[in-house]
Structure 1
Amino acid sequence: MSISHHYIGCDVSKSWLDVFDPRAGRIQHLDNTAEAISVFVSSLQGQDAFVLFEATGTYDSVLRTSLHEAGIACARLNPTMVRRYAQARGRKAKTDALDAIILADMGERLRPDPDPAPCPHRARLAGLAARRDQLVAMRACEKTRLCELTDPFLRQDLEETICHLSRAVARIEAEIERQIQENDALRDQARILASAPGVGPVTAQILLALMPELGNSNPKRLAALAGLAPFNHDSGKLKGIRCISGGRARVRRALFMAALRAARINPTLKAFADRVTSASKVRKIAIIATARKLLTILNAMLRENATFRHQ
């Protein structure tokens, strides 16, 4: 028996939430704080409510966590998809209140599946991985500046900053490793992923943190989620060039670098990359195809709980 939800739209910004409940027929303006959100979520208990909101980086984290902890169904939607839906409905104007109304209408008409509750271990791992990326990017910028300087004082200052950032990176990486080792599922999956060619510790950490679907989904969906699926661009007699689009950028970058190495060290993947290169005449296309194939292999490895078998 299916549950009949009533859909509530919630537009999220840094400081406040605009909530539209069709049953009340009015916009509710809330502070984006844990206290205000807790009161709002408590009011939804026993109502079969389904809350829809756009993905807004970290601004929706408190709302998302509170809804899942309370057992309230919710869906975090792609903002582009929501805007396209509004345009399809003839809504050209855009305000926070109108966005909340559109979200409620979108839920009622499209009835999306609720998001699964996030794993707190993966969520913390994602935060740690993001912080590591920030520190590595800052260190790279400082190293670039160091190459451009000749003044001894400035060079010493930059070298000290680089050393400090390196220590910070090492500290974050140690915490990431501890987070993985403390969780049995993450530890086993990290071991399986690291057995694949080209997949190093950082790639394994990114996949564990940002691809929870890995091992539980079909290859085509995973390729689309990772931004590695080539989409058609055809119309009438026009046969456009297939190209990748969207997806999780950090996962795509990690898989691309893994595929770049795997295409050099693994005979099977090297032969595959060479065949695609011969057909397309573009090595980058071959590496993207190899990344997609590698993702399929990793998915099968986690699904079967088996390490990589070299052929």
Structure 2
Amino acid sequence: MQGKVSSERTAMATVYVGIDVCKEWLDIHLHPLGRSFRVTNDTAGLRRLKRELDALDQMPRSALHIVMEATGKWHRAVQRSLHADGFYVSVVDPLRARLFAKACGFLAKTDRLDARLLAIMGEALKPAQTPPQDQALEALQELVNARSAANGERTALSNRMKTAVTAFLRKELTRRLAALDTHIARLDAEIERSIGAEPEMRRRLDILISILVK
């Protein structure tokens, strides 16, 4: 199937679709058609984007190459939705995009210009397709990141406790530390539950633990 898609893509002119993703909007540029438009970054906006792409004259989805930057949680739903509907989507590292922009002499920075840059980058570098991350793994990473942030906050509060003099401040810090300990414990329990619910993640974790304890 992949070979069929690849041969179809090389047998016809490709339209490169640069998408600049932010929380509220998706700015889109079609290259080399020179057309730009904006949709909302929500379900309705994605439906409109797909309608616009499907309306291109005699342009099957296999002839479209979508390029967007990795922007944390904001790009993931867009990537997953487009990938599920058969679009060829590449997610590129923001640093790589900035270096490409610098090499091309793009000094200004606007959402519309960023979308055009990504489309041109797609044509020049032809980045590989990026399958969406497994949703269970994505959720687990979010929990782990939250635990790391909470642990960092706890360390900062503990250091402040060491220098606190007034009884009131020490009492307040103690209360906040206790609340953080409860929060971290709940995160640990949810992380453990999430891993246990996914046999493949549990298998990988057991392998990692066995390596570390040797």
Q: TM-score range by the shorter chain?
A: 0.7 to 0.9
Farther-moved stretch of structure 1 (60-69 vs 125-134):
60-69
Structure 2 residue aligned with 1:71: 86
| Per-residue Cα deviation, 1:131-176 (whole angstroms, up to 9, x for no partner) | 1111111111111111111211221111111111111111111111
Structure 1 residue aligned with 2:61: 47
Q: Distance in 2 between matches of 1:47 and 1:169?
A: 45
Q: Distance in 2 between matches of 1:152 and 1:88?
A: 58
Show structure 1 runs of 5+ residues with no match: 199-309
| Aligned counterpart in structure 1 of residue 111 of structure 2, from 96, 102, 112 | 96
Q: Distance in 2 between matches of 1:71 and 1:136?
A: 41
Which TM-score applies when normalising by structure 2? 0.85
Q: Distance in 2 between matches of 1:26 and 1:44?
A: 11
| Aligned counterpart in structure 1 of residue 197 of structure 2, from 177, 182, 190 | 182
* Conserved? CA contact 2:69–2:91, under 8 Å: yes
| Aligned counterpart in structure 1 of residue 30 of structure 2, from 16, 21, 27 | 21
* Conserved? CA contact 2:157–2:177, under 8 Å: yes
Structure 2 residue aligned with 1:142: 157
Shift of 1:42: 4.8
For 1:1-311, what aligned pairs fall within 5 Å after superposition? 1=3, 2=6, 3-4=8-9, 5-22=14-31, 24-44=33-53, 46-48=60-62, 49-197=64-212
| Per-residue Cα deviation, 1:222-244 (whole angstroms, up to 9, x for no partner) | xxxxxxxxxxxxxxxxxxxxxxx
* Conserved? CA contact 1:38–1:66, under 8 Å: no
Farther-moved stretch of structure 1 (144-153 vs 173-182):
144-153
Which TM-score applies when normalising by structure 1? 0.60
* Conserved? CA contact 2:16–2:32, under 8 Å: no
Please state whether the residue corresponding to 2:61 is helix, strand or coil: coil
Aligned-residue identity in percent: 32
Please state whether the residue corresponding to 1:60 is helix, strand or coil: helix
- Aligned pair in 2 of structure 1 residues 153, 93: CA closer, same or farther (>3 Å)? closer
* Conserved? CA contact 1:9–1:20, under 8 Å: yes
Q: Distance in 1 between matches of 2:200 and 2:178?
A: 34
Structure 2 residue aligned with 1:213: none
* Conserved? CA contact 1:41–1:66, under 8 Å: no
Shift of 1:40: 1.3
Q: Alignment RMSD, CA only?
A: 1.9
Between Structure 1 and Structure 2, the one with more helix by share is 2
| Per-residue Cα deviation, 1:233-270 (whole angstroms, up to 9, x for no partner) | xxxxxxxxxxxxxxxxxxxxxxxxxxxxxxxxxxxxxx
Please state whether the residue corresponding to 1:132 is helix, strand or coil: helix
* Conserved? CA contact 2:15–2:33, under 8 Å: no
Instruction: Give the letter for the 1:145 counterpart.
Output: R
Shift of 1:24: 4.4
Instruction: Give the letter for the 2:29 counterpart.
Output: F
Please state whether the residue corresponding to 1:75 is helix, strand or coil: strand
Shift of 1:80: 1.9
* Conserved? CA contact 2:25–2:41, under 8 Å: yes
* Conserved? CA contact 2:79–2:132, under 8 Å: no
Please state whether the residue corresponding to 2:73 is helix, strand or coil: coil
Structure 2 residue aligned with 1:301: none
Shift of 1:127: 0.8
- Aligned pair in 2 of structure 1 residues 42, 172: CA closer, same or farther (>3 Å)? farther
Show structure 2 runs of 5+ residues with no match: 55-59
- Aligned pair in 2 of structure 1 residues 177, 54: CA closer, same or farther (>3 Å)? same
Q: Distance in 1 between matches of 2:104 and 2:204?
A: 44
Shift of 1:197: 2.4
Q: How many residues align?
A: 199
